[in-house]
Structure 1
């Protein structure tokens, strides 16, 4: 039998096909699927608040004026607003020709609507990690103030949208906003971020003491900063701003009284704060927050710290250090469940009263305020300490051997130690109490050099002391030229925060000015008719102290009549 070989017909590979291209395709497909799943999942989680539990917060509305303030709740019909009513996201407020409205938000922010203004609360959401506040200003003008960073736990995004612009508000903002204008009186960091919706230009920042006015959204050029300029006297004295500041004081006081009456959140049974009381006045540098909590509470957060819990007694406590130089301090206490979601929250505001100790005295080798000359290379400074002092600081060095019970101190100055040199030496002596408050300095100037040894000059009056006519004898009329006096530095406007021990307050006035007075002291270097002036604030002069300093500035004409008057507040935080 004959056998014939079978032949395969058609094409076939000469070698086995590699599996790697197929595997690579499956790997790429899996990676792509994971990316899509992550993006979609993140979006869904963000929408439903997973990972950042959110709670829609109410907004309290206060009305004022002769005509009615109108509201539309959740897109419904327009109705007359009631004072104290609660609004939620989607609700709209409109004011008439003779009305204003104030809105108080969960984070402590406050908005006051001018006449003929239309505003919608788009978002008011509190999240355990990030919160959001968004307003839509359809028409008119609004004044807004946001609290300091320390007053609110967690991150928060505050946005005001108009048909033409978007404003992003930082902490400590005080501003007046409309569709094409922004007047910024204070703002943390770089200021308010502004975006023009019809432009491809990058957003810009409007800082403290500046205004931004855009004539229109057409032909705006390539530089949005070209429309930014310093606040002028008219903007500083804008009626909406002055009225809103008064309104803020009234509304804040009402809110504090309400919080005190309800004992800070016993509603719901999750949280009760025993101390501190709301509006408590403290003299120490720390405050202890204590209270009790109910069932379902897993943790208590006091500002950014988790409190110590006693699970058996259902109590909590946490001690906070108050920021140096801060007079008013907000404490936010939140009860959280096991998922980190807020069950109940209480806000306490406390005030720290700065009671600085008396200044120490210098008795040897001369008295404070004097100038002493010597050829001695080494000597001991001596003096007395005030009651309540727990420490003495000489030129930033805290004496290690000081004993409060003795009521005296000593300090070795020597060329060998490097704390005494040829020429002029300034020794500034400060007392400190147990709360960390520092006294005004006692200053002695010692000259190491040739000449007669001993006191060569007595103490001179500080720049805060009047050297000419007594202000009580001068006219006390209403300002004849209101708005003519302006402070341009160190921060333009009416307020400044300082860290240095010396700075220059300066500003402008009008040619009719014959004299400029600061806290009843007539500026000696000011020349009649000049349109600019300046004043030195210095801790050594005694006209700058820790905490709040108010400088009352007055300009007078040749007949000593008041031309203008303003107050400039400096918070000194060394």
Structure 2
């Protein structure tokens, strides 16, 4: 009886255990599936996090540099580099670079442009970025994925531009004569114009919002010093208008529109992250190797010819072509050069006579330079004025000259081509144009007819002579080497704006050997040395 009971009990236990095994297997499979899903989701999320809050760099042409947040030095950038929030990037003269965000939004940088990524928040379904445009030109285009939330904010010296997804460009000049512009190619943007807050306390100037504008498709906002001054005085200013013709005709506009229509081939953030992690970016035309091929015949690659790099000539930024005919007697010329530039040579052709000199205030290595053409400096006269600018590197290599023509639209006076007169010598009237002296310093003053734009003594142009001023002065000093013991002869003549020459006037100074105690050197203007009034303003540092 006991044996029979134990047998039946053992059979029931085996049946219960057999029924539980399939259920246990099912639970195990579910748990394994959940675990696999969690592991895959972990790696997917980790990969996604690697792509977030980054911008990929593609150098289209020229040289580009980047500065990592917290690091003082600028370093060369390259295609496949990655930018984060707080980083900065800048392009050289003639260079262009494209930044791409996670979801395909694009920011293009023009020549000599510098921006800071003040905020960068990108993830799946979101491209939000804020940029501080220090100088230059940028073109922003939202992703074509409609489901992506896109937001751009660009700030310049006096503008704050906000867009919720459109195509627009922003320009920030770097001198007081340059302008800040916003142009909309698609959609609309909001522009806040800010001016100095005259009511603010403290030494540090602050800005106040002067105007808030909505700029639509085909419109632009352009502000300069005149508009800012009127806004500062709380006057009404018309700031919104249609695109200027020179912008539509610019190569920058045409290139960007072509990129917009054809679609950018910029490197993606995913590709850039892959490059950053050590993988190799292959051009789409790179052939792949079929592993089934056992033998590969030797391939002879063509020998590439050595290409001598071209030293890019200076670029004129302002005045724009439309502004190169002017009634102003002074024009500020601004431009850009490569960062390898060490000197800039400017040549004027007033009265058809070329005069070259180095811009003394240009900072070696700076990508920006400026120059002042002015009637008061004698390097701009009524009519057509021609200038050339040449960049020089550390090895002495010279770029091709860049020519600038400014038409000073002021009626030129009929030139009086009478011979110059000598009026005084060391402050004393002297009609004989002859002096005997023991002095080591002599000042000669004289007069000349109207319409004379340049006066030369012994073929040396007097840099202090103001065109059409009708008076001139010249210093002869022993320390200049133009006043020696014995007879010294000087010739003076003038040139009109069309290059006509007055008759030559000659005067003589006979310096005798001093018999008394040595003279105490006198402080006199340094006229006969290198030009005193270098018409170059301080070059901006890049």
Query: How would you bin the TM-score normalised by the shorter chain?
Result: 0.3 to 0.5
Higher relative contact order by CA 8 Å / sep ≥ 6: 1 or 2?
Answer: 2
Between Structure 1 and Structure 2, which shows a larger proportion of helix residues?
Answer: 2
What is the TM-score when the length of structure 1 is the normalising length? 0.32
Q: Which has the larger radius of gyration?
A: 2
